[in-house]
């Protein structure tokens, strides 16, 4: 049995269909975003250096839900200055999660929420044309509001989904 049983596509001319979405940008605008830690794990770079690989996924942001931004913490870098910056950044990440020290296993941080500040990183001076696009970079971490999320931003919704604001709060139903 097909997933598309009882749906007739015979009246659709696929040759004349055009995509309704334009080319997507490789980055989102700089700002603060609600995020969930998707990946936090020990990582070995191509150069053989150990680091912590962090991937955060934007959530509760209607326009940018699902965007993933990465950051590497080079905590074991042979250059002490680089390792020091990484330790400072990782400490700020932990503070944003409400922690004062790291867990035994970096993967224990996965699934936790925080607010990340993204900037736009201009890569136009990269020698490799494949890596010249502007990308996002995580520049700060903050603890989420009381319920684990920052208040959602107001977005326009179709009239059929909008509710009249009577000024009275809705009573919970049982």
Q: What is the pLDDT of residue 133?
A: 84
pLDDT at position 169 is 47
What is the reported pLDDT for 129? Answer: 86
What's the confidence (pLDDT) of residue 124? 86
pLDDT category at 12 given cuts 50, 70, 90 is low
State the Cα angle at 94 between 44 and 113, rounded to 5°.
Answer: 95
In this structure, the strands spanning 68-73 and 50-58 are antiparallel
For residue 113, the SS3 value is strand
pLDDT (tens digit per residue) in 62-113? 889 999 999 999 999 999 999 999 999 999 999 999 999 899 999 999 999 9
54: nearest Cα among 92, 5, 106, 15: 106
pTM (two decimals): 0.67
Comparing 152 with 71, the larger pLDDT belongs to: 71
User: What does each C-alpha distance from 103 to 51, 73, 97 come to in angstroms?
Assistant: 16, 15, 12
Nearest to 106 by CA among 168, 146, 51, 65: 51
Q: How confident is the model at residue 123 (pLDDT cuts 50, 70, 90)?
A: confident
**pLDDT single digits (tens) 134-147:** 888 999 999 987 55
E-strand ranges in 17-130 read 31-44, 50-58, 68-73, 113-121
Once rounded to an integer, what is the mean pLDDT over residues 2-11? 66
Strand partners, 138: 118
Q: Which of 73, 63, 62 is nearest to 37 (CA)?
A: 73
Q: Residue 126: count other Cβ atoms within 10 Å of its Cβ.
A: 11
Polymer length in residues for the chain: 174
pLDDT band for position 154 (cuts 50, 70, 90): very low
CATH architecture assigned to 26-142? Beta Barrel (2.40)
């Amino acid at each position: 049995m097909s997933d598309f049983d009882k749906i007739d596509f015979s009246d659709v001319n696929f040759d004349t269909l055009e995509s309704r979405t334009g080319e997507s940008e490789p980055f989102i605008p700089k700002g603060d975003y609600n995020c969930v830690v998707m990946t936090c794990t020990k990582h070995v770079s191509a150069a053989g250096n150990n680091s912590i690989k962090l991937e955060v996924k934007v959530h509760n942001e209607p326009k940018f839900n699902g965007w993933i931004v990465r950051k590497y913490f080079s905590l074991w870098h042979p250059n002490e200055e680089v390792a020091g910056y990484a330790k400072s950044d990782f400490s700020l990440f932990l503070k944003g999660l409400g922690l004062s020290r790291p867990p035994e296993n970096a993967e224990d941080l996965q699934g936790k929420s925080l607010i990340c500040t993204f900037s736009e990183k201009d890569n136009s001076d990269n020698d490799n044309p494949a890596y010249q696009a502007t990308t996002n970079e995580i520049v700060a971490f903050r603890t989420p509001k009381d319920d684990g999320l920052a208040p959602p931003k107001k977005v326009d919704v179709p009239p059929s989904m909008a509710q009249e604001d009577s000024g009275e709060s809705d009573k919970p139903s049982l």
